[in-house]
């Protein structure tokens, strides 16, 4: 039986396609460790391992099977087929364009072409800001900000009549966490079109945004801590939630510094002149940053699969916890391509008076437009979302489902959107198909990351199996309608615990009542369901959430007057209706006293069976498909992202850009105070 080395830290045996961990032994001429540790020790932080080829940078790793020149990667066919052992064909990488060569600038004001050297330099700058956001903080001194209902309060990190506890205090600094998610969001929002007078739509990717509530920060009114001190509920206006482009000024300002300053950020390679001075477009930069960010998220997912992720090193990948290690790593057959030639919005569309052009006065930004984009509502169900994307981007339902996977890399910020928490708790920063697994309530385990002397723990059902999961929906009561309406993912599980070397249980549980957090309940993890104490086996959620526009891909529901999901078996219309949700007199009552159930209303919606006329598969079928087939989703995602990034253009408008993309194809690393990216196959 021949074992063929792969790029996933495992080997494939010919004949039965079984995947097994490749165990190596230490030799005299190579300090080799076992399994994925070989890759972890040989890689370079943070983009150190080339997941498309077998190579090493450190001499001590010469004995690693993954580093052998004879190693053969086993990519999938990109459309759902089984892994196939195929010879690696040399990639034809364009030679760098000499710096003195004249750029090609399309007629009509499109962005000028990039050389390969420029693309790698700009990649270095983008990645440097992602892995070390502090390099950008000098941009945000005395930043514009207003908070609270009607943005009537200063952002001074102090209590006020709407905010009495730390959970809702805000300062004036923009949020620069999870910049990869923010760059990806910016790249999509840039390509939303503008309504056309008389009907239809115009525009596309143009390097401009309408500001609206930009620079405004919502402060949380609901919550036990706030209510204890008399905070007022329902003080925001109906329809404010969602944020539109709110929160994008921070990442846009960082990219603007890259666009206008050839030396920003400090420690990155210097351009010979600024991107703006060399005729490149802002829209092209935003598109490139989105692509780089998507690949950063996929690479981080791959690294976490192998235990070598950059973010949250004490955490493990959920797919490994669910015994799906063989389906964890994304293998990329065809890297995305970058195109140049997009046009930035014109002077007539710019804001002439930024003190009045949006809800919060601010300094002039060259990327602000007075035109308002057509945006999807966070409360759309699957049918509404599919209709939106069909009208605005000519998407099929499958393409809609594929693109929405972008949400998995990030999370919500209440002060941007009135929604909160993350699509993937402790697995944010990663872009992979676990978004679809969480959405479709696949069995899983609740993780606590390693901390101090406590190891990572994984709580499932009694006996250690995967826990059943589901969704609750809650009215947060920030608005007269009772909204925003936020979905919470729960696990029906035992507490998080571990045993020490002597076999004694220790609890790391943070949720539930005191008994659930006690050592007494830890034994649930060893017991059968018949033997376990019911108080030790309960449904709990922890900071993993979604919005209707996500859940509507898989579940079928109607939408109420102000966005509440309706029409599912678990949503009793006598208890869950627009009038009761809007009744502020119920806010002082708990559900047993006749008030609203603001905690664990389980909709129990059926599947979304909407499909295109010529497609046998429904939207929920594609969620199931992507939940099982990582590489199929990744390939489809980049195809659809390309379609988004060419909105408003025909083929003749755009030029094929430098060939520098591909998961793990570029190594980005810090040497001393310098941070730079270089191609591994150059």
| Structure-model confidence comparison of residues 373 and 57, the more confident one | 373
* Res 92: pLDDT: 41
Q: What residue has token string 């000028």?
A: 112
Q: What residue has token string 């309530």?
A: 441
What integer is the mean pLDDT of 278-297? 98
Which tens digit of pLDDT belongs to each residue from 513-539?
A: 999 999 999 999 999 999 999 999 999
* Res 258: pLDDT: 98
Residues 458 and 486: beta-carbon distance below 8 Å? no
Phi, psi of 444 (to 5 degrees): -160, -170
* Res 101: pLDDT: 61
* Res 41: pLDDT: 39
Distance CA 594, CA 584 (A): 13
* Res 157: pLDDT: 95
Classify the C-alpha dihedral 569-574-579-585 as positive or negative: negative
Which tokens hold the place of 177?
A: 């966490």
Q: Inform me whether the pLDDT recorded for 605 exceeds 60.
A: yes
Distance CA 528, CA 139 (A): 57
Q: How many CB atoms lie within 10 A of CB 200?
A: 9
State the pLDDT confidence band at 270, using cuts at 50, 70 and 90: very high
| Structure-model confidence comparison of residues 95 and 148, the more confident one | 148
Q: Inform me whether the pLDDT recorded for 379 exceeds 70.
A: yes
Q: What residue has token string 């941007």?
A: 416
Distance CA 572, CA 552 (A): 19
What integer is the mean pLDDT of 105-111? 91
Distance CA 54, CA 295 (A): 19
DSSP string, 425-450: TT-TT--STHHHHHHTT--B-EEE--
Which tens digit of pLDDT belongs to each residue from 151-210?
A: 999 999 999 888 888 888 999 999 999 999 999 999 999 999 999 988 889 999 999 999
| Structure-model confidence comparison of residues 289 and 16, the more confident one | 289
State the pLDDT confidence band at 628, using cuts at 50, 70 and 90: very high
- For 594, residues 6+ apart whose C-beta sits below 8 A from its C-beta are 586
Which tokens hold the place of 617?
A: 């598969």
Residues 42 and 1: beta-carbon distance below 8 Å? no
Distance CA 431, CA 309 (A): 13
Q: Inform me whether the pLDDT recorded for 435 exceeds 90.
A: yes
Q: Inform me whether the pLDDT recorded for 500 exceeds 70.
A: yes
Which of these ranges, 231-235, 303-307, 394-398, has the smallest mean pLDDT?
231-235
Which of these ranges, 63-67, 232-236, 497-501, has the smallest mean pLDDT?
63-67
Which tens digit of pLDDT belongs to each residue from 50-97?
A: 333 323 333 334 444 433 333 323 333 333 332 232 233 333 444 443
What integer is the mean pLDDT of 557-563? 97
* Res 682: pLDDT: 66
* Res 47: pLDDT: 38
* Res 76: pLDDT: 34
Distance CA 359, CA 214 (A): 7
- CB burial of residue 159 (10 Å; 0-12, 13-18, 19+): middle
Residues 57 and 45: beta-carbon distance below 8 Å? no
Predicted TM-score (pTM) of this structure: 0.86
Three state DSSP letters for 468-495: EEEEEEEECCCCCCCCCEEEEEEEEECC
State the pLDDT confidence band at 26, using cuts at 50, 70 and 90: very low
- On average, the pLDDT of the chain sits at 86
Q: Inform me whether the pLDDT recorded for 629 exceeds 70.
A: yes
* Res 312: pLDDT: 84
Which of these ranges, 154-168, 221-235, 242-256, 374-388, has the smallest mean pLDDT?
221-235
What integer is the mean pLDDT of 14-30? 28
State the pLDDT confidence band at 100, using cuts at 50, 70 and 90: very low
């Amino acid at each position: 039986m021949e074992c063929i080395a792969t790029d996933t830290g495992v080997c494939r045996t010919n004949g039965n396609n079984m995947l097994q961990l490749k165990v190596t032994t230490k030799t005299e001429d190579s300090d080799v460790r076992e399994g994925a540790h070989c890759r972890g020790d040989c890689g370079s932080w943070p983009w150190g391992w080339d997941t498309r080829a077998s190579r090493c940078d450190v001499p001590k790793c010469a004995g690693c099977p993954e580093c052998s020149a004879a190693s053969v990667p086993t990519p999938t066919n990109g459309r759902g087929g089984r892994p196939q052992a195929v010879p690696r064909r040399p990639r034809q990488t364009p030679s760098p364009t000499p710096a003195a060569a004249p750029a090609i600038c399309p007629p009509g004001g499109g962005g000028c072409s990039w050389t390969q050297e420029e693309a790698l330099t700009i990649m270095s700058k983008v990645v440097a800001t992602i892995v070390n956001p502090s390099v950008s903080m000098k941009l945000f001194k005395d930043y514009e900000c207003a908070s609270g209902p009607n943005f009537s309060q200063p952002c001074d990190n102090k209590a006020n009549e709407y905010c009495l506890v730390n959970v809702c205090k805000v300062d004036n600094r923009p949020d620069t966490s999870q910049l990869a998610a923010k760059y990806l969001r910016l790249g999509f929002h840039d390509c939303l079109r503008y309504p056309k007078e008389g009907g239809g739509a115009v525009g596309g990717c143009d390097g401009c945004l309408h500001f609206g509530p930009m620079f405004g920060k919502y402060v949380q009114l609901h919550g036990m801590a706030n209510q204890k001190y008399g905070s007022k509920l329902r003080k925001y206006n109906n329809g404010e939630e969602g944020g539109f482009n709110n929160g994008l000024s921070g990442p846009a300002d960082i990219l603007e510094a890259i666009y206008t300053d050839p030396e920003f950020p400090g420690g990155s390679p210097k351009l010979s002149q600024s991107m703006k001075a060399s005729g490149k477009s802002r829209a092209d930069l935003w598109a490139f940053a989105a692509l780089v960010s998507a690949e950063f998220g996929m690479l981080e997912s791959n690294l976490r699969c192998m235990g070598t992720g950059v973010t949250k090193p004490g955490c493990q990948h959920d797919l490994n916890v669910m015994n799906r290690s063989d389906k964890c790593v994304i293998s990329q057959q065809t890297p995305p391509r970058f195109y140049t030639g997009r046009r930035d919005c014109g002077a007539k569309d710019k804001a002439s008076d930024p003190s009045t052009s949006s809800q919060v006065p601010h300094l002039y930004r060259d990327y602000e437009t007075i035109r308002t984009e057509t945006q999807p509502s966070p409360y759309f169900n699957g049918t509404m979302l599919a209709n939106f994307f069909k009208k605005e981007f000519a998407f099929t339902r499958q393409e809609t489902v594929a693109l929405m996977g972008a949400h998995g890399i990030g999370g919500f910020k209440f002060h941007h959107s009135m929604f909160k928490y993350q699509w993937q708790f402790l697995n944010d920063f990663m872009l992979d198909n676990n978004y679809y697994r969480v959405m479709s309530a696949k069995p899983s385990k609740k993780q606590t990351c390693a901390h101090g002397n406590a190891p990572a723990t994984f709580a499932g059902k009694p006996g250690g199996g995967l826990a059943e999961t589901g969704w609750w929906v809650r009215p947060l009561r920030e608005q007269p309608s009772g909204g925003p309406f936020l979905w919470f993912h729960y696990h029906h599980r035992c507490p998080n615990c571990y045993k020490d070397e002597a076999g004694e249980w220790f609890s790391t549980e943070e949720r539930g009542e005191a008994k659930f957090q006690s050592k007494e309940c830890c034994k649930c993890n060893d017991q059968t369901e018949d033997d376990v104490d019911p108080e030790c086996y309960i449904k709990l959620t922890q900071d993993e959430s979604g919005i209707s526009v996500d859940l509507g891909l898989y579940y079928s529901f109607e939408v109420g007057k102000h966005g509440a999901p309706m029409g599912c078996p678990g949503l009793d219309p006598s208890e869950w209706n627009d009038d009761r949700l809007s009744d502020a007199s119920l806010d002082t009552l708990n559900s047993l006293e006749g008030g609203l159930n603001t905690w664990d209303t389980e909709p129990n919606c059926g599947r979304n069976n909407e499909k295109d006329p010529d497609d046998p598969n429904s939207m929920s079928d594609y969620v199931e498909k992507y939940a099982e087939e990582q590489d199929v989703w990744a390939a489809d995602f980049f195809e659809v992202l390309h379609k988004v990034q060419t909105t408003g253009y025909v083929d003749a408008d755009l030029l094929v850009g430098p060939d520098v993309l591909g998961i793990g194809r570029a190594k980005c690393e810090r040497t001393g105070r310098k941070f730079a990216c270089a191609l591994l196959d150059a």
